[in-house]
Amino acid sequence: MLRAFLSQSILHALVAALFVQALLRAWRIEDGAWRLRFRLLALAVPVVWLPVLFVAAPFRSAPTFVAGWTLLAGERWNLLHLAGFGLGDLILLLAAGLGSALFLRDAFPPLFDLLRRPARLPDAGPWHPAAGVLTPIVHTHAKGLNIDPPRIRVVQASTPVLLCEGARDSVLVVSLPTLQRLNSKELDVAVAHELAHVASRDPALGYLLIAVRALLFFNPAAQWTARVLVDDIERRADQVAARITGNPSALARAIAVLFDAGHPPPVDSDATFERVFWRARKEGVERRCARLRQAEVVPPIEHGALRMALAAIAVLGLVFFVV
Protein backbone atom coordinates (compact mmCIF):
# COMPACT_ATOMS: atom_id res chain seq x y z
CA MET A 1 0.00 0.00 0.00
CA LEU A 2 2.78 2.45 0.92
CA ARG A 3 4.73 1.71 -2.27
CA ALA A 4 1.59 2.20 -4.34
CA PHE A 5 0.87 5.51 -2.62
CA LEU A 6 4.42 6.80 -3.15
CA SER A 7 4.45 5.66 -6.76
CA GLN A 8 1.09 7.26 -7.55
CA SER A 9 2.07 10.44 -5.75
CA ILE A 10 5.06 10.86 -8.06
CA LEU A 11 3.13 9.85 -11.19
CA HIS A 12 0.16 12.08 -10.40
CA ALA A 13 2.38 15.07 -9.64
CA LEU A 14 4.27 14.52 -12.88
CA VAL A 15 1.13 14.19 -15.00
CA ALA A 16 -0.46 17.25 -13.37
CA ALA A 17 2.69 19.36 -13.73
CA LEU A 18 3.13 18.49 -17.42
CA PHE A 19 -0.57 19.00 -18.15
CA VAL A 20 -0.66 22.42 -16.47
CA GLN A 21 2.58 23.48 -18.14
CA ALA A 22 1.13 22.53 -21.53
CA LEU A 23 -2.01 24.56 -20.82
CA LEU A 24 -0.02 27.62 -19.77
CA ARG A 25 1.91 27.47 -23.03
CA ALA A 26 -1.05 26.67 -25.26
CA TRP A 27 -3.21 29.42 -23.76
CA ARG A 28 -0.24 31.82 -23.51
CA ILE A 29 -1.05 32.78 -19.94
CA GLU A 30 1.40 35.45 -18.78
CA ASP A 31 -0.63 36.88 -15.92
CA GLY A 32 1.19 35.92 -12.73
CA ALA A 33 -1.96 35.57 -10.64
CA TRP A 34 -3.55 33.09 -13.04
CA ARG A 35 -0.30 31.18 -13.55
CA LEU A 36 -0.14 30.81 -9.78
CA ARG A 37 -3.67 29.40 -9.63
CA PHE A 38 -2.90 26.79 -12.28
CA ARG A 39 0.33 25.78 -10.50
CA LEU A 40 -1.55 25.40 -7.22
CA LEU A 41 -3.98 23.10 -9.01
CA ALA A 42 -1.07 20.89 -10.07
CA LEU A 43 0.33 20.84 -6.54
CA ALA A 44 -3.07 20.01 -5.04
CA VAL A 45 -3.23 16.76 -7.02
CA PRO A 46 -0.69 14.76 -4.94
CA VAL A 47 -1.51 16.62 -1.71
CA VAL A 48 -5.32 16.49 -1.71
CA TRP A 49 -6.73 14.52 -4.63
CA LEU A 50 -4.59 11.39 -4.27
CA PRO A 51 -5.55 10.75 -0.59
CA VAL A 52 -9.19 11.25 -1.59
CA LEU A 53 -8.83 8.62 -4.31
CA PHE A 54 -7.24 6.12 -1.95
CA VAL A 55 -10.10 6.51 0.50
CA ALA A 56 -13.06 6.96 -1.86
CA ALA A 57 -11.99 4.75 -4.79
CA PRO A 58 -10.06 1.73 -3.47
CA PHE A 59 -11.24 -0.28 -6.49
CA ARG A 60 -8.59 1.49 -8.57
CA SER A 61 -6.04 -1.01 -7.25
CA ALA A 62 -8.10 -4.03 -8.31
CA PRO A 63 -6.58 -6.15 -11.11
CA THR A 64 -9.66 -5.73 -13.30
CA PHE A 65 -9.42 -1.92 -13.13
CA VAL A 66 -5.66 -1.96 -13.71
CA ALA A 67 -6.01 -4.30 -16.67
CA GLY A 68 -8.99 -2.66 -18.37
CA TRP A 69 -9.15 1.00 -17.42
CA THR A 70 -5.78 2.47 -16.54
CA LEU A 71 -3.90 4.82 -18.83
CA LEU A 72 -0.67 4.27 -16.93
CA ALA A 73 -0.02 1.54 -14.36
CA GLY A 74 3.25 1.81 -12.48
CA GLU A 75 3.13 -1.83 -11.39
CA ARG A 76 3.52 -2.98 -14.99
CA TRP A 77 7.07 -1.68 -15.03
CA ASN A 78 7.94 -4.38 -12.50
CA LEU A 79 7.31 -6.98 -15.18
CA LEU A 80 10.70 -5.91 -16.48
CA HIS A 81 13.73 -6.70 -14.37
CA LEU A 82 17.16 -5.16 -14.13
CA ALA A 83 19.87 -6.77 -11.99
CA GLY A 84 17.20 -8.83 -10.25
CA PHE A 85 15.04 -5.85 -9.32
CA GLY A 86 11.75 -4.74 -10.80
CA LEU A 87 12.23 -1.75 -13.09
CA GLY A 88 9.30 0.04 -11.47
CA ASP A 89 10.88 -0.23 -8.02
CA LEU A 90 14.20 1.05 -9.36
CA ILE A 91 12.52 4.03 -11.02
CA LEU A 92 10.62 4.76 -7.80
CA LEU A 93 13.86 4.62 -5.81
CA LEU A 94 15.69 6.92 -8.22
CA ALA A 95 12.78 9.37 -8.34
CA ALA A 96 12.56 9.46 -4.54
CA GLY A 97 16.30 10.11 -4.39
CA LEU A 98 15.99 12.96 -6.87
CA GLY A 99 13.06 14.50 -5.00
CA SER A 100 14.94 14.29 -1.71
CA ALA A 101 18.00 15.91 -3.28
CA LEU A 102 15.93 18.80 -4.64
CA PHE A 103 14.30 19.32 -1.25
CA LEU A 104 17.54 19.15 0.71
CA ARG A 105 19.31 21.43 -1.77
CA ASP A 106 16.80 24.18 -1.00
CA ALA A 107 16.35 23.38 2.70
CA PHE A 108 19.98 23.13 3.84
CA PRO A 109 21.31 26.61 2.91
CA PRO A 110 18.70 28.52 4.98
CA LEU A 111 19.24 26.08 7.83
CA PHE A 112 23.01 26.57 7.74
CA ASP A 113 22.57 30.35 7.59
CA LEU A 114 20.30 30.15 10.61
CA LEU A 115 22.88 28.16 12.55
CA ARG A 116 25.76 30.44 11.58
CA ARG A 117 24.13 33.75 12.43
CA PRO A 118 21.40 35.04 14.75
CA ALA A 119 17.89 34.23 13.66
CA ARG A 120 16.93 37.89 13.91
CA LEU A 121 19.03 40.73 12.52
CA PRO A 122 19.66 43.49 15.06
CA ASP A 123 17.44 46.55 14.78
CA ALA A 124 18.96 49.90 13.85
CA GLY A 125 16.39 51.58 16.10
CA PRO A 126 12.78 52.76 15.65
CA TRP A 127 13.86 56.37 15.09
CA HIS A 128 16.45 55.68 12.42
CA PRO A 129 16.27 58.25 9.56
CA ALA A 130 15.73 55.42 7.06
CA ALA A 131 12.28 54.80 8.55
CA GLY A 132 11.37 58.39 7.78
CA VAL A 133 12.42 57.92 4.15
CA LEU A 134 10.36 54.76 3.77
CA THR A 135 7.21 55.78 5.63
CA PRO A 136 5.63 57.98 2.91
CA ILE A 137 6.47 55.39 0.22
CA VAL A 138 4.91 52.58 2.26
CA HIS A 139 1.76 54.57 3.06
CA THR A 140 1.28 55.62 -0.57
CA HIS A 141 1.50 52.11 -1.97
CA ALA A 142 -0.45 50.55 0.90
CA LYS A 143 -3.30 52.94 0.12
CA GLY A 144 -3.12 52.04 -3.56
CA LEU A 145 -3.27 48.33 -2.72
CA ASN A 146 -6.05 48.85 -0.13
CA ILE A 147 -4.08 47.31 2.73
CA ASP A 148 -2.91 48.54 6.11
CA PRO A 149 0.67 49.87 5.99
CA PRO A 150 3.05 47.31 7.46
CA ARG A 151 5.42 48.26 10.24
CA ILE A 152 8.90 49.26 9.08
CA ARG A 153 11.96 47.66 10.69
CA VAL A 154 15.41 48.96 9.80
CA VAL A 155 18.07 46.33 10.49
CA GLN A 156 21.83 46.35 10.73
CA ALA A 157 23.30 44.18 7.98
CA SER A 158 26.32 44.32 5.71
CA THR A 159 24.30 43.29 2.65
CA PRO A 160 21.08 44.64 1.12
CA VAL A 161 17.90 43.37 2.77
CA LEU A 162 14.42 44.25 1.55
CA LEU A 163 11.56 41.90 2.32
CA CYS A 164 8.22 41.55 4.02
CA GLU A 165 7.95 38.96 6.76
CA GLY A 166 5.12 37.73 8.92
CA ALA A 167 2.15 35.63 7.87
CA ARG A 168 -0.35 37.67 9.91
CA ASP A 169 1.24 40.96 11.02
CA SER A 170 3.49 41.97 8.15
CA VAL A 171 6.71 43.88 8.67
CA LEU A 172 8.80 45.55 5.99
CA VAL A 173 12.44 44.76 6.76
CA VAL A 174 15.13 46.92 5.16
CA SER A 175 18.85 47.38 5.70
CA LEU A 176 20.96 50.48 5.13
CA PRO A 177 22.88 48.99 2.15
CA THR A 178 19.54 48.73 0.34
CA LEU A 179 18.93 52.45 0.69
CA GLN A 180 22.51 53.18 -0.31
CA ARG A 181 22.38 51.14 -3.52
CA LEU A 182 18.92 52.07 -4.84
CA ASN A 183 17.95 55.46 -6.16
CA SER A 184 14.59 57.02 -5.32
CA LYS A 185 12.69 55.48 -8.28
CA GLU A 186 14.19 52.03 -7.73
CA LEU A 187 13.41 52.15 -4.01
CA ASP A 188 9.84 53.25 -4.70
CA VAL A 189 9.03 50.37 -7.04
CA ALA A 190 10.96 47.83 -4.93
CA VAL A 191 8.85 48.74 -1.90
CA ALA A 192 5.73 48.46 -4.07
CA HIS A 193 6.85 44.95 -5.00
CA GLU A 194 7.14 43.96 -1.35
CA LEU A 195 3.75 45.43 -0.49
CA ALA A 196 2.27 43.47 -3.38
CA HIS A 197 3.45 40.35 -1.52
CA VAL A 198 1.67 41.59 1.60
CA ALA A 199 -1.56 42.29 -0.32
CA SER A 200 -1.54 38.73 -1.70
CA ARG A 201 -0.56 37.15 1.64
CA ASP A 202 2.49 35.62 0.02
CA PRO A 203 4.42 35.14 3.30
CA ALA A 204 1.67 32.75 4.47
CA LEU A 205 1.72 31.02 1.09
CA GLY A 206 5.47 30.64 1.41
CA TYR A 207 5.09 28.83 4.73
CA LEU A 208 2.48 26.56 3.15
CA LEU A 209 4.85 25.70 0.32
CA ILE A 210 7.59 24.83 2.80
CA ALA A 211 5.20 22.46 4.58
CA VAL A 212 4.10 20.83 1.32
CA ARG A 213 7.69 20.38 0.16
CA ALA A 214 8.61 18.78 3.47
CA LEU A 215 5.58 16.45 3.24
CA LEU A 216 6.41 15.47 -0.36
CA PHE A 217 10.18 15.51 0.04
CA PHE A 218 10.43 12.31 -2.05
CA ASN A 219 8.44 13.66 -4.99
CA PRO A 220 10.59 15.35 -7.67
CA ALA A 221 7.63 16.58 -9.71
CA ALA A 222 6.06 18.21 -6.66
CA GLN A 223 9.41 19.78 -5.75
CA TRP A 224 9.69 21.23 -9.26
CA THR A 225 6.12 22.55 -9.14
CA ALA A 226 6.76 24.23 -5.79
CA ARG A 227 9.92 25.82 -7.19
CA VAL A 228 8.18 27.33 -10.21
CA LEU A 229 5.33 28.41 -7.93
CA VAL A 230 7.83 30.69 -6.20
CA ASP A 231 8.78 32.14 -9.59
CA ASP A 232 5.11 32.83 -10.34
CA ILE A 233 4.67 34.47 -6.93
CA GLU A 234 7.49 36.84 -7.82
CA ARG A 235 6.06 37.39 -11.31
CA ARG A 236 2.71 38.36 -9.83
CA ALA A 237 4.34 40.85 -7.43
CA ASP A 238 6.46 42.26 -10.27
CA GLN A 239 3.38 42.83 -12.41
CA VAL A 240 1.46 44.49 -9.57
CA ALA A 241 4.39 46.78 -8.73
CA ALA A 242 4.92 47.68 -12.38
CA ARG A 243 1.23 48.48 -12.77
CA ILE A 244 0.83 50.72 -9.73
CA THR A 245 4.11 52.60 -10.28
CA GLY A 246 4.26 52.59 -14.07
CA ASN A 247 8.01 52.02 -13.87
CA PRO A 248 8.90 48.39 -14.68
CA SER A 249 12.42 49.30 -15.87
CA ALA A 250 13.26 50.74 -12.43
CA LEU A 251 12.08 47.50 -10.83
CA ALA A 252 14.32 45.52 -13.20
CA ARG A 253 17.29 47.66 -12.18
CA ALA A 254 16.48 47.26 -8.49
CA ILE A 255 16.19 43.47 -8.79
CA ALA A 256 19.53 43.23 -10.61
CA VAL A 257 21.31 45.54 -8.16
CA LEU A 258 20.04 43.75 -5.05
CA PHE A 259 20.80 40.30 -6.48
CA ASP A 260 24.35 41.20 -7.49
CA ALA A 261 25.02 42.76 -4.09
CA GLY A 262 23.52 39.91 -2.07
CA HIS A 263 24.69 36.99 -4.23
CA PRO A 264 28.28 37.48 -5.36
CA PRO A 265 29.62 34.83 -7.74
CA PRO A 266 31.27 31.86 -6.00
CA VAL A 267 35.03 31.96 -5.76
CA ASP A 268 37.16 29.33 -7.47
CA SER A 269 37.56 27.36 -4.25
CA ASP A 270 33.81 26.81 -3.92
CA ALA A 271 32.25 23.53 -4.99
CA THR A 272 31.37 23.21 -8.66
CA PHE A 273 27.67 22.60 -7.97
CA GLU A 274 27.51 25.91 -6.06
CA ARG A 275 28.68 27.72 -9.18
CA VAL A 276 26.08 25.84 -11.23
CA PHE A 277 23.25 26.80 -8.89
CA TRP A 278 24.47 30.41 -8.73
CA ARG A 279 24.50 30.57 -12.52
CA ALA A 280 20.98 29.11 -12.66
CA ARG A 281 19.71 31.73 -10.20
CA LYS A 282 21.53 34.49 -12.08
CA GLU A 283 19.95 33.45 -15.37
CA GLY A 284 16.54 33.34 -13.71
CA VAL A 285 16.99 36.90 -12.46
CA GLU A 286 18.12 38.00 -15.92
CA ARG A 287 15.01 36.50 -17.54
CA ARG A 288 12.84 38.17 -14.93
CA CYS A 289 14.48 41.55 -15.57
CA ALA A 290 14.18 41.08 -19.33
CA ARG A 291 10.41 40.61 -18.99
CA LEU A 292 10.16 43.84 -17.04
CA ARG A 293 12.35 45.80 -19.45
CA GLN A 294 10.13 44.80 -22.35
CA ALA A 295 7.41 46.78 -20.55
CA GLU A 296 4.73 44.84 -22.34
CA VAL A 297 1.16 45.02 -21.09
CA VAL A 298 0.18 41.62 -19.74
CA PRO A 299 -2.86 40.52 -21.74
CA PRO A 300 -5.88 39.64 -19.58
CA ILE A 301 -6.92 36.02 -19.64
CA GLU A 302 -10.34 35.55 -21.17
CA HIS A 303 -12.82 33.30 -19.34
CA GLY A 304 -10.23 32.59 -16.67
CA ALA A 305 -12.61 30.93 -14.22
CA LEU A 306 -14.03 28.69 -16.94
CA ARG A 307 -10.58 27.66 -18.13
CA MET A 308 -9.56 26.93 -14.56
CA ALA A 309 -12.63 24.76 -14.03
CA LEU A 310 -12.04 22.84 -17.26
CA ALA A 311 -8.37 22.32 -16.36
CA ALA A 312 -9.32 21.01 -12.91
CA ILE A 313 -11.88 18.58 -14.34
CA ALA A 314 -9.42 17.38 -16.96
CA VAL A 315 -6.40 16.88 -14.71
CA LEU A 316 -8.37 15.28 -11.84
CA GLY A 317 -10.11 12.97 -14.27
CA LEU A 318 -6.84 12.12 -16.01
CA VAL A 319 -4.96 11.08 -12.88
CA PHE A 320 -7.94 8.96 -11.80
CA PHE A 321 -6.80 6.46 -14.43
CA VAL A 322 -3.13 6.62 -13.42
CA VAL A 323 -2.28 3.94 -10.89
Tens of pLDDT along 119-162? 567 776 666 777 788 999 999 999 999 999 999 999 888 889 99
SS (H, E, C) the chain: CHHHHHHHHHHHHHHHHHHHHHHHHHCCCCCHHHHHHHHHHHHHHHHHHHHHHHHHCHHHHCHHHHHHCCCECHHHHHHCEECCEEHHHHHHHHHHHHHHHHHHHHHHHHHHHHHHCCCCCCECCCCCHHHHHHHHHHHHHHHHCCCCCCEEEEECCCCCCEEEECCCCCEEEEEHHHHHHCCHHHHHHHHHHHHHHHHCCHHHHHHHHHHHHHHCCCCHHHHHHHHHHHHHHHHHHHHHHHHHHCCHHHHHHHHHHHHHHHCCCCCCCCCHHHHHHHHHHHHHHHHHHHHHHHCCCCCCCCCHHHHHHHHHHHHHHHHHCEC
pLDDT digits (tens, 9 = 90+) for 256-280: 999 998 878 877 655 566 777 778 8
Domain coordinates of the chain in residue numbers?
Answer: 2-123+174-320
pLDDT digits (tens, 9 = 90+) for 289-323: 998 988 667 778 899 999 999 999 999 999 999 98
Compute the mean pLDDT over every residue in the chain, rounded to the nearest whole number.
88
* pLDDT at 33 > cutoff 90: yes
Q: Determine the Cα–Cα distance for residues 238 and 228; give it in Å rounded to an integer.
A: 15
167 phi, psi to nearest 5 deg: -75, -30
- pTM beyond 0.85: the answer is yes
